[in-house]
Amino acid sequence: MTQRKNRITYRQIGRYGEIIAVLVKYGFGDLLSRINIERYISVGKRILRGAPRSAAPEISRWHRVRLALEELGPAFIKFGQFASNRPDILPADLIASLEKLQDEVPPFDEKAAVSIIESELGKTIDELFASFATAPFASASIAQVHRAVLHDGREAAVKVQRPSVAETINVDLEIMRHIASLMEKHLHGVGAFEPQKLVDEFAGAIRKEIDFTIEAIHMQHFAHNFSSDPTVHIPLVFQTHCARRVLTTELINGIKVTNIDALFAMGCDPREIARRGAAAVLRQIFVHGFFHADPHAGNILVKEGNVICFLDFGMTGILTPTSRERLSAIIIGIVQQNPRKIVNALAQMSYSQLEHRDELEYAVSDLLQEYASRSLSAINVGDLFNHFSQLMAVHRLRVLPGFFLLVKALVTIEGVGYKLDPQFTMMEHIEPFVRRMVREQYTVGRMLHDGGEVAGDLIHLLRDLPSEIRELLQQVKAGRVKFEFEHQGLDPITRKFDQVANRLVFGLVLASLVIGSSIVILSDIPPKFYGLPVIGLAGFLTAGVMAFWLLISILRHERM
């Protein structure tokens, strides 16, 4: 938001009132007052004045945050889930509360679902499906899912977006940005955590999630990546039955991955499923660089033959080849107990300056000592990466959000693995992938490729260098080269000089006014008041007021 940052549009006013009322209800009226919300929206003033200060239940502040987000609806629920992936900027207790956010809501009207499908796909429900179950079998804050059968006999799952949810989310995003800007402006220290940037990152993610054509593309991408792997199945997308608010895919008749008894009854091996699930996620991360960011138990089904099926591809993450290499360096540094390698990789992954490198290296060394005597099978990846995230928060290292999505994916699949197999060890599954990546970096082909790129860059540099030097010399010769110096720490001194100068000028004006008024009095110039010139009296009165104001100003700042 540029010009609109501190202005409220007409369509936001009603929704803003709802949001303020919920926040006050859960005891956040003090926060709203601190960010001066009543200055920008009059309804805020009315609600804050009318609400009792004890409106919130006697529960923890972070629990109240979760309850408020759940009551505020889809955008805020999704924002809480998104923010729970940022341990670098949020306290651990708040993240633990946000991870419990519930995204299950009652289904919306079946007629509205049919209407949306028909308007999006341009055909009647009978033309699209041989049969369509009007009652959904799953319902969440953004969409619900119906069973259907295509005319060729294939079973389908039809995901339908809630009516007007996109419009509601867009309004909520504008309000979130406004609140974030007020927090940065009025709350000391909050600006360092960049709440506006966090909202902008979330806005990009949620807008992709409510566009089902993007999710369809993600599913096709995953299907291509695992096309040669019979142990992993990605649901088929029925492209002709998809649109922005409708996603139709193959219906998977499988068993929830953590339903151990049902898995045994179907003849599946939970330990093998744990191994395959970990391998699938690690392959997404270290080989494809495109991974399912939320592989929790509800998004994984198992079919006969221990075949794993991933669902819900609305949230995905991307890792560039360079990021994968640096992640590999971190894990190798953990295995080798090499804190310098880890710090180097963290610094390279960060887009902020690492100011206290020695302190971070000492903290990493101290952390590694906790794992020094443990075997790989005894290392909990989730705990380890959470510790690293906390270190990065303390040292203000900012990395791309994809890194924390990656950590979440690893932690989530590790938790699923433990439920399937108490002896499951994520680190033992990670190490072979990492070592393979390290070996690939030093193969003859890779070194020749990298050498070729370096040689190409060097040739371009040598080719352009003479002309660049010539242009620089011409600029110098023409007198168009300018050097800029930035002085650090001079602002307080400059302000003090300005203050002294202002007081000197003020004093000179005051003295001149006294002298001029005295001359007018002695000159006996009319008009007069009780025999004294009015102009002279006015001058003395003005001088007295100015002198009194200057004295009060000096005493207030405790400087004589």
Please write the tens of the pLDDT for every residue from 16-28: 888 888 888 888 8
Residue 126 in any domain: the answer is yes
The pLDDT assigned to 4 comes to 43
- Put the strands of the sheet holding 307-310 in their side by side order: 232-233, 307-310, 300-303, 255-256
Give the relative orientation of helices 426-441 and 381-394 as an angle to the nearest 10 degrees.
70
Same domain? For 283 and 428 the reply is yes
Residue 242 in any domain: the answer is yes
Which of 69, 92, 89 minimizes the C-alpha distance to 81?
69
Record the pTM. 0.72
Same domain? For 188 and 278 the reply is no
Report how many domains make up the chain.
4
Residue 201 in any domain: the answer is yes
Contacts 24+ apart (CB under 8 A), 53-60: 53/29, 55/24, 55/25, 55/26, 55/27, 55/29, 56/25, 56/26, 56/27, 56/28, 57/26, 57/27, 60/93, 60/97
How many angstroms separate the most distant Cα atoms in the chain?
117
Same domain? For 216 and 111 the reply is yes
Q: Would you call 524 a catalytic residue per the annotation?
A: no
Same domain? For 115 and 169 the reply is yes
Residue 183 in any domain: the answer is yes
- Asked if the model's pLDDT at residue 56 lies above 60, the reply is no
Same domain? For 296 and 356 the reply is yes
Same domain? For 281 and 194 the reply is no
Choice among 294, 366, 383, 491 that is catalytic: 294
Same domain? For 125 and 174 the reply is yes
Of 463, 482, 501, the domain-final residue: 482
Same domain? For 171 and 305 the reply is no
- 3-class secondary-structure state, position 517: helix
Same domain? For 384 and 499 the reply is no
The pLDDT assigned to 464 comes to 73
Enclosing domain of residue 471: 452-482
Residue 160 in any domain: the answer is yes
Structure confidence by residue, pLDDT tens digits, 466-497: 777 877 777 777 777 666 655 555 566 666 66
Residue 471 in any domain: the answer is yes
Same domain? For 174 and 283 the reply is no
Same domain? For 199 and 309 the reply is no
Residue 196 in any domain: the answer is yes
Q: Which residues pair with 318 in a beta bridge?
A: 290
Residue 261 in any domain: the answer is yes
Same domain? For 406 and 262 the reply is yes
Lowest-confidence segment of 82-96, 448-462, 502-516, 534-548 by average pLDDT = 448-462
The pLDDT assigned to 46 comes to 54
Lowest-confidence segment of 325-329, 417-421, 517-521 by average pLDDT = 517-521
